[in-house]
Amino acid sequence: MFKKLKPGESEDDVLRMAAEFNAEKAKDPNFQPAAAFVRMDKAPKKSMFAQRREQAKLGRVTSSTAKTEDEIQPVPKEIIPEIPTGVSKERGTHVSQVLLDEIQENILGDVKGSKMDPSSLGNVLGELVERTEGTRRSALPDSKKVDSGKPLSIFAKKLLGAKSVNEEKSKKESDSPRNDTSSIIKDAKLGKELHQENLNVLKQMNEQDILAEKERLLASLDPSLIALLSKKRQATPNSKPPNPNSPKIIEAPPMPTQSTRAQDPQMSSLTDGNPAIELLQESDKGNWVNFNLVEEHKLAWMRDIPAKISELKPGEQFNARFDWKGVLLPHTLKDQDASKQIDERELYLHGEEADRPGYALQELFRLARSTVLQQRLSAFGAIAGIFSIYNQGFYDQVLSLPISKIFFLLRFGLDDNAPAQLEVVSRALSNLFYNETDEVLLDHVQDNAYCHWQPTLEVLGNGSDGKGEDTDTNSIAFLQRYMKLLTTSKSVRAEVDEDESESRTSMDDFQLAETDLIDCLLRTNILQRIRFILDSVKPDNSTVESCLKLLIRIARTSTKVARQLANESHLIDTLFKPFLPSSSGRNQFYGQPQVLLLKLIRVLICQHLDIAKGISKGVLIGRLQQYLFLEDNKVQMVRVQIEALRILRCLLLLGIVDRDIFRQFLPALRQLLDWHGNHCAFDGVGGSGLVRQHAAALLVALVASGESGACDVEGQKLLVEPLNNCCCGWMHAASRVAKIKDFSQMTLLSSALYAVGWFSRNSLLGTTSFLPFLRSILPKFVQSSGFIACVHDLVKGSIMLRRPIDRRHVHAALPNVGAVLMHDYGPQLVVSETYPVHLLSNLWALLAVSLESGEKPLFAALIQPAVLEPLAEYLRQLSTQLNRVLATNFFARSELRLIHQLLTTDGIEIYLERQQMLQLVYNYLCCLSTAHATQIKSIFERFIFNGDFVKLDESSLKLLQQSCLEMVYPHIIADNSEPSLSLSYTQAPILPADWPFFQLRVILSNYLQNVQQRPAAIHSENHVVRMTLTFVRQLEREGLQIVSPLEKLMYLMIAFMGPDSQFLAPDLHELLRDCLMDFYRENAGHEFDFDAELVDKARFEPLYYLFVEHFEAASYGDELFSSLVLVPLAQKYDNKWRRRLWSEHVQAVRFINCDEAMLMGGLSAYLEPVEEEPSLVKLYGDALAQKMVRPGSIAYRIAQHHFNHSSSVHKATLF
């Protein structure tokens, strides 16, 4: 019988006892230890009834749940002794319950702790004892003595004696001497190097030198130290011989080679990635008890995450995973730099796809619903990062996000009142709705001339702002919708009517979120929720900024939504009191003027005059005065003053701030002008970027005061002198720099030119106040290298010459302004840092002022080739490469204004050929929206109605002028109908790309109304068709391609569909013949796609069958009419056209009468290859047999040829 280990025995005793046990087992193979540790695998999941049946078989519990609990409950009392009086019973019960729950979880793997196998309780004691001994603190409070009437159990003795045993053991360890075999040098590699150096030195010395060196070394050492070392060396042989299995201090040897591993059978069976290899290599496994078996499942948690996984095939999709900042992670990390030791273990704490880093959206959704706050914060923070990157365009064409589903998750999360969660969730919502890139760019552009307009971001197609002209039967919008509905299928019309009549109130929340996300957000009572957060919760963190950003985006939606927001009086009061104070407070948010609140006010003011009047009735104007009078150079207050100046500009333009109120602002404005004049050096135009923004906002506010009439003569006298000083200083400094590299510098110079131009033209003092500026300083700037570089950057920075993809409708339910374009190389800003359009536009406007006053130095400086040649190249590229989609971008309005200024400049046509000029004018007209309606009128009068460019007879020219102006005048009226400073985010053009054919659309509209029993009333059909075709032929002869060949074919067909059949008139018939022959000749080899979808037009198929029906009714056998009917019947097109004509419209075939020369592609195009469709060949045979085609006609020859030569059907006779 072997004895147990006693306290104080060392590992040598353990190894000795193990050796004795192995020797005894070698003698008797049946010798077994008294106890053995057995690994219990995780029990398979069983139902509750199966567990109860097993427990009943063991006889340890009954089938009753209540009895089971009664029998299990006394277990802790039996194991744990009585608690001393110093410890409460409640605490003991809690500790026992915790231990019991842990036992249940460890044994059965049941998280809830509702199931337990009593047969396994015996195995738990050893685990608990082992854990208790391994801890540095006792499991129970210290007690010297336990008074109990019962004898203590083994477990209780262990718990009570753990502390004393540990103390005694530590004392013995501290008193015992250190191992004599320890070495100072623990690094084996260093020791070998030192030993090798010593050997090399000894080899170079003879025996006498070695002895002499030994004597000298002994003489230099302390005699007592030498005696100690000698005594210790003599005592070593007499000591107990070391056990071969005794532990040694393990040094760090170099990693064994592959051959070493091959010699070890245990290591050779392990794979390279097994974590036990390193453990075996760094340790003397021969001294470890029972370490001959490596249990890999116990070491699985140490296994490294594999860096190399299966390769993706090109184009193969995979599940997106993100880090905690919302960054999309690659499918594999094998390409990362291995030298960068980054701890990324937190990205692998998920179950699915364990070898991939990051978290999928589904996993983030689960974390966002967790009961642990920190997990929810992490998930919502990752979602906030995802939306921040998404709105910058980096996930376009890469990732598809379920935005509507994420929106609902965030909206539910916002209902939690925990300040930490409110901060993260509100940030995620603001990142979704408030496009930071759009807003920053809008703020930077705001301080330029004519850039005070704010975009409205209403979803297109809502129909909430329907205009009256859309119901006009002669309007383009009406005709476009009518042509889309042009079809012979009644079912399609019913579907369209159903879609148009569907109301949003009948949609559920998810359907509304997929249609209009802002409308869905308002349905969730977001305004009331934000008021509660700011008024009751009062989180003094970034939640305030996020809520204000949400309100700004809501206010941008439309005038209707902005009015709804402004009518929330309690919300407005909640915003004004803490965030629009008269003075600054100590807190970061509450009691401080908030820039975002001022921006919200500006957006609301710009939506409508009524909203502006309602908001300005309170303390707003007084607060603006206080902020502008403050002499505070801190960054936050400078931003507040910038927004205050922008609001003042809008109030002046709307007429709310009159002369009396403006006089109260004059001292502050004069003070700010003096400060800029004294302190703003042109270190890149006017100091820092923020100060330049402040100066530009000040200048445009002064111009607005003049435009509105609020600044009288006295005010102008007070402001003109410092204004002249500032402009002279900035422009003089700008002429000395090599290149203007910052957009805020461009903005400051542009606003300076804008201010000088307005005050020179409209003030009572005129140009006399700015003579030095106009005569000397500005011409020098125009001749400087910095300005020349700006002109050369025009082509490179132009918005309308770019090719990238517009992403305003990347998510249709939540449109954006379009500040980001998607290029092949990634997202780009639509406006570059060196965008010179605003500067050049204001310079061109100032040129007209100087010429009117007789000042010509500026004109002389601008006509130099270094300036005009880049501008001419810019116009030439616009004539061929103008991007009409980007021309509708909100930020392209200033560039359209510059093009108009250049086109209306006398002498500019010298630099462009006639064809280039007409193409440029045509492209430019196709880009202008309602906001540029007056520019369309001036361009028409200058180029289109000018005999030098378009040669028409007087009556046709008059009709053309009348029809064009009829398209423009309603938009000029609509542009001035509402007192608002807002525009739609997408500037839809007034004129379609095929506007020269507009009158033919009117003919088609009247034809359709006649079909539906509606009266027709148009101008003379002959006159309209003649004017349209003549005008289009002239444009095409100049090289303009107005429409595609298919569209032109459709318009030529419409020319024959007039109600009076004027195509038979000799003069018009001859014009139509010339147009058709030119068209046939130019497109002889062209293959039409008759199934193509055309923008804002009907498909070809319904129009063609209307055309055939009209041919049956009113063709009179006209050969031109007949040739158009035959165009889709060529053999290279689908046989559905031939089958339908020869079956349903076989009556029309009888009237087809045209010469072979009138066929597009000649007769061979209709004969070859021979028809192989049996049903069509039978139709040919039936028509010939029934004599439904005239012998000798084109139709007869086509049918005869295919029927006689086709082998697809059996023929009794030939024709």
Q: Which of 216-230, 847-861, 962-976 has the lowest mean pLDDT?
A: 962-976
Q: What is the dihedral of CA 639, 642, 647, 653, to 10 degrees?
A: -170
Residue 605 β-bridge partners: none
C-alpha angle 470-475-476 in degrees, rounded to nearest 5: 100
Query: Cα separations (Å) of 272 from 212, 269, 304, 957?
Result: 54, 10, 11, 88
pLDDT classification of 228: cutoffs 50, 70, 90: confident
Q: Which of 57-71, 654-668, 672-686, 1153-1167 has the lowest mean pLDDT?
A: 57-71
Q: Which of 348, 357, 366, 288 is nearest to 318 (CA)?
A: 357
347-433 classified as CATH 1.25.10: yes
pLDDT classification of 1209: cutoffs 50, 70, 90: confident
Q: Which of 543, 666, 551, 540 is nearest to 598 (CA)?
A: 551
Res 83: pLDDT = 38
Res 120: pLDDT = 43
Query: 836, 845 in Cβ contact below 8 A?
Result: no
Res 78: pLDDT = 37
Which backbone phi and psi does 445 adopt, to 5 degrees? -80, -20
Average pLDDT for 470-475: 45
Residue-wise pLDDT for 914-951, tens only, equals: 888 988 999 999 998 888 888 888 888 888 877 777 77
Q: Give dist(CA 699, CA 79) in Å, integer.
A: 86
Q: Give the residue, 305 or 874, on which the prediction is more confident.
A: 874
Q: Give dist(CA 761, CA 849) in Å, integer.
A: 6
Res 300: pLDDT = 65
Question: What percent of the chain has pLDDT above 90?
Answer: 38
The mean of the pLDDT values for the chain is 79
First to last CA, the chain: 121
Q: Where are the domains of the chain?
A: 1-35, 48-172, 263-302, 347-433, 1024-1205
Residue 445: Cβ within 10 Å count: 21
Collect all residues with Cβ–Cβ distance below 8 Å to 549 and sequence separation of at least 6. 430, 433, 434, 596
pLDDT classification of 61: cutoffs 50, 70, 90: very low
Res 63: pLDDT = 42
Q: Give dist(CA 727, CA 776) in Å, integer.
A: 13
Q: Which of 96-105, 956-965, 1027-1036, 1205-1214 has the lowest mean pLDDT?
A: 96-105
Residue-wise pLDDT for 972-999, tens only, equals: 666 566 789 999 998 888 888 888 888 8
Average pLDDT for 13-41: 80
State which amino acid sits at residue 1062. Q
Q: Give the residue, 825 or 293, on which the prediction is more confident.
A: 825
Q: What is the pTM of this model?
A: 0.73
Res 1040: pLDDT = 84
Helix (H) or strand (E) holding 455: strand 454-456
Q: Which of 24-28, 238-242, 554-558, 800-804 has the lowest mean pLDDT?
A: 238-242
Query: Cα separations (Å) of 1065 from 912, 1025, 1070, 1121?
Result: 40, 12, 8, 13
Query: 900, 837 in Cβ contact below 8 A?
Result: no
Q: Which of 104-113, 188-197, 763-772 has the lowest mean pLDDT?
A: 104-113
Q: What is the dihedral of CA 606, 611, 612, 616, to 10 degrees?
A: -150
Residue-wise pLDDT for 329-376, tens only, equals: 887 765 554 445 555 667 777 767 777 888 999 999 999 999 999 999
Q: Give dist(CA 696, CA 707) in Å, integer.
A: 17
DSSP code string of 989-1003: BSS-TTGGGHHHHHH
Query: Cα separations (Å) of 316 from 34, 361, 732?
Result: 61, 19, 59
Average pLDDT for 579-588: 83
Flag whether pLDDT at 141 surpasses 60. Answer: no
Tokens of 653: 């333009």
> For residue 823, what is the DSSP state?
E
Residue-wise pLDDT for 233-271, tens only, equals: 666 544 444 444 444 433 444 444 444 555 555 565 566
Res 448: pLDDT = 94
Residue-wise pLDDT for 1125-1147, tens only, equals: 999 999 999 999 999 999 988 88
Res 174: pLDDT = 43
pLDDT classification of 494: cutoffs 50, 70, 90: very low
Query: 1203, 1215 in Cβ contact below 8 A?
Result: yes
Res 640: pLDDT = 95
Collect all residues with Cβ–Cβ distance below 8 Å to 804 and sequence separation of at least 6. 821, 822, 823, 824, 828
Average pLDDT for 763-779: 86
Q: Which of 37, 108, 47, 46 is nearest to 72 (CA)?
A: 108
Query: Cα separations (Å) of 638 from 212, 583, 631, 688?
Result: 85, 14, 10, 12
Res 115: pLDDT = 43
Flag whether pLDDT at 114 surpasses 80. Answer: no
Flag whether pLDDT at 492 surpasses 60. Answer: no
Res 89: pLDDT = 40
Helix (H) or strand (E) holding 720: helix 713-734
Res 362: pLDDT = 92
Tokens of 1086: 């062209």
Res 15: pLDDT = 83
Average pLDDT for 445-457: 93
Flag whether pLDDT at 684 surpasses 80. Answer: no
Residue-wise pLDDT for 944-953, tens only, equals: 877 777 777 7
Query: 494, 507 in Cβ contact below 8 A?
Result: no
3-state DSSP: the chain helix, strand, coil percent, rounded to 5?
A: 60, 0, 40
Q: Which of 395, 307, 321, 398 is nearest to 352 (CA)?
A: 321
DSSP code string of 1159-1193: STT-THHHHSSPP--HHHHHHHHHHHHTT-S-TTS
Flag whether pLDDT at 619 surpasses 70. Answer: yes
Flag whether pLDDT at 898 surpasses 70. Answer: yes
Q: Give the residue, 103 or 166, on which the prediction is more confident.
A: 166
